[in-house]
Amino acid sequence: AGAMAAGEGLVSVDYEVSGKVQGVFFRKYTQGEAKRLGLVGWVQNTSHGTVQGQIQGPTERVRELQEWLRKVGSPLSRISRAEFSNEKKITALEHKDFQILK
């Protein structure tokens, strides 16, 4: 809660990651990284072989996870592209935690 008190802005951003990102524990690692950074949102596999979701939290932390989604991912994944959309400032978090959706 320290970051919030400092008046750091909160943002919400949607993401979709393409490449070899299903069947490689990508969702589990994304959830772990998001929790480590104190972010909320969700992640799920899509029917067309990508992983998508939403991230919410302090701007700086969200940027860190975006970078992670672009370059790191899970150990066995191969990321070809990470796209981000619908970025907006929010006044309060809309999720309680970071969930893996089926």
Compute φ and ψ for 61, nearest 5 degrees.
-70, -40
How many whole angstroms separate alpha carbon 67 and alpha carbon 18?
Answer: 14
Amino acid identity of residue 37, one-letter, is: L
Active site residue 81: no
Structure-token match 């996870």, residue found: 65
Cβ contacts of 5 within 8 Å, gap of 6 or more: none
Residue 44 near residue 52, CB atoms below 8 Å: yes
Residues labelled catalytic: 27, 45
